[in-house]
Chains A and B, each alone.
Chain A
């Protein structure tokens, strides 16, 4: 079974979000379920640093041997950092979707609790993917 990590928040489109320590920053990626559905990931089109994104808007794309999928941001904010290691090593999204395979960090304007509050809990996401 795919791992659904406690403590993260989830979107229905299979992205995860995590408030970084220190506040104001949310890290995003795709779930273990999503990477398993996509199969071998061969390319990650990262968002641009500095770009302002809406919650639910497309911020990039993930290409696997099977298909190309849009990457949606689970929160609104400004992109402050992207995981550039994925340019050379897209397979990290498959191998470690919640850690080394993170995709971007966004600066959110509201409190991180509020930004994440609208997303699913691990338990709700488990029900969503069941």
Chain B
């Protein structure tokens, strides 16, 4: 890792006695901790905390934060993740004291504004997806998937049916089989057909009396619209199963097509993708779930209800509910941001968002097609999948292209996913980028394709300009050092 500028840990900067605070003299009687706390709970040695000045803390973490990369730093075309710009207006809304300074245990009547926001968001998301009712509780996409599958389980059980299998296409998000397994189902993977869509014959063969659900994204992970969705829905429904819509790719269809109209019964949305709430760095996220009326009795409780007099209440009277899936009412601050986004665009604006996301993706795909093979040619939706396998002739792999992009200040696209495309590169530009930004990235991708032929070492040794150079991922995974000594 040559060129690595060593950064001391904050613990290594510690000097005994240094503090970053100054407290006034105590003006109440002092109480010995040992007189009120049981001895077994008391420390015998001081906690190993770093002893540093305030300015050192600020400089240390500010410097580390400047090494980070996010959508506010640069282009981040991470396929399937919808890394769009997060409008700062959303942040203003979330910081309004009436939203930021409330507590979930306050009485209902003092929370009416916040509850109206939640209620309206439930209705807006239902309208966008073509569903009847929505829960805002799930805190992430996979949490939404799991919640949706538990609803599907409760629905089948309420009808006295035992259905144990969930069908997923081989291009599905890895979270789909994981969520199905976590919800107690067995996963059946079916292959895609030659055009990257669900293979109807394979679906017919897999669907049966034990089918609980089919999990699908549309457009799918390859960026292709499942044009046979009506037939897919018919096959699954005739077998007695339900259709689950993974909302990861909703940025392609807002105001244009609705999962509910395609035949889906359960939908989750990733507000941190489609609705521009902050993303990455561990969240918090939000994965609301919408359902058709026949599944609504099982939704997590409470949901926000509206009385005839226009007041709002926590609807806890839902005896068939699967129960809470998160304390309180979801990640409220994130829900405020999503509400601000939806309301500032309005229906026509959201449709325009999706149209521009699809346009940007097609523009990039067409410009890159002469240099990287398009996995499934044709019109794409909001994202597209390339294969870097042509470069293997020069000893270069997709991973090397991704590492080289770091030298030009770009976050690389998703690579090696979906699994059914060799040397996969999955690009999702989103609607928030200018043509100049798209062209800048495309030009660099074309330059890298030339470098692969003429100077492959440039790629094999990349990145050259970052603080840490090529990481040895294999050794890190084979022989991880997991213990920490903070002495």
Interface centre among B419, B473, B478 (most CB of A within 10 A): B478
A42 touches B474 (CB 8 A): yes
Question: What residue of chain B has the Cβ atom nearest to residue A90's Cβ?
Answer: B478
For residue A43, CB closer than 8 A to chain B, the reply is: yes
How far is A39 from B397 in the complex, measured between Cα atoms in Å?
10
| Interface size classification for chain A | 10 to 19
Is B53 located at the chain interface by the 8 A CB criterion? no
Does B363 sit within 8 A of A, measured CB to CB? no
A91 neighbours in B (Cβ, 8 Å): 474, 478
A65–B419 CA distance with the chains assembled, in angstroms: 13
Chain A 58-76, CB within 8 Å of chain B: the 1/0 string?
A: 0000010111000000000
Whether A66 contacts B477 by the Cβ 8 Å rule is: no
Please tell me if B416 contacts chain A, counting CB pairs below 8 Å.
yes
Q: Which of A70-114 contact B (CB under 8 A)?
A: 90-91
Do the beta carbons of A43 and B477 come within 8 Å of each other? yes
A42 touches B416 (CB 8 A): no
Say whether A45 faces chain B, with CB atoms less than 8 Å apart.
no
Measured between alpha carbons, how far is A42 from B473 in the docked complex, in Å? 9
Whether the pair A40, B473 counts as a contact (CB closer than 8 A) is yes
Q: How many A-B residue pairs have CB under 8 A?
A: 22
B474 near A67: Cβ-Cβ < 8 Å:
no
Question: Given the complex of chains A and B, what is the CA–CA distance between A63 and B474 in angstroms?
Answer: 10
Interface of B is mostly: helix
Q: Which residues of A contact B474 (CB under 8 A)?
A: 40-42, 65, 91
Q: In the complex, A63 Cα to B473 Cα: how many Å?
A: 12
In the complex the two chains form, is A42's CB within 8 Å of B477's CB? yes
10 interchain pairs, CB-CB under 8 A:
A37-B422, A39-B397, A40-B473, A40-B477, A42-B477, A43-B478, A65-B473, A65-B477, A66-B416, A67-B416
Give chain B's interface residues, CB within 8 Å of chain A: 397, 399, 416, 419, 422, 473-474, 477-478
Residues of B within 8 A of A37 (CB): 422
- Cβ of B473: which chain A residues have Cβ within 8 Å of it? 40, 65
B399 contacts across to A, CB distance below 8 A: 39
Contacts of B397 in A (CB 8 A): 39
Determine the distance from Cα of A65 to Cα of B477 in the docked complex, in whole angstroms.
7
A20-39 interface bits toward B, Cβ cutoff 8 Å, 1 = contact, 0 = none: 00000000000000000101
Cα distance A65–B399 in the bound complex, in angstroms:
11
CA distance A90 to B419 in the complex (A): 22
Q: How far is the CA of A37 from the CA of B398 in the complex (A)?
A: 12
Known: A37-B422, A40-B474. 14 other contacts (CB 8 A): A39-B397, A41-B474, A42-B474, A42-B477, A42-B478, A43-B477, A43-B478, A65-B473, A65-B474, A66-B416, A67-B416, A90-B478, A91-B474, A91-B478
Q: Name the A residues within 8 Å of B416 (CB-CB).
A: 66-67
How many whole Å from B45's CB to the nearest CB in chain A?
37
Tell me the smallest distance from the CB of B171 to a CB of chain A, in Å.
14
Query: Whole-angstrom distance between the alpha carbons of A40 and B399 in the complex?
Result: 12
CB distance from B318 to the nearest CB of A (A): 39
Chain B residues whose C-beta falls within 8 Å of the C-beta of A43 in the assembled complex: 477-478
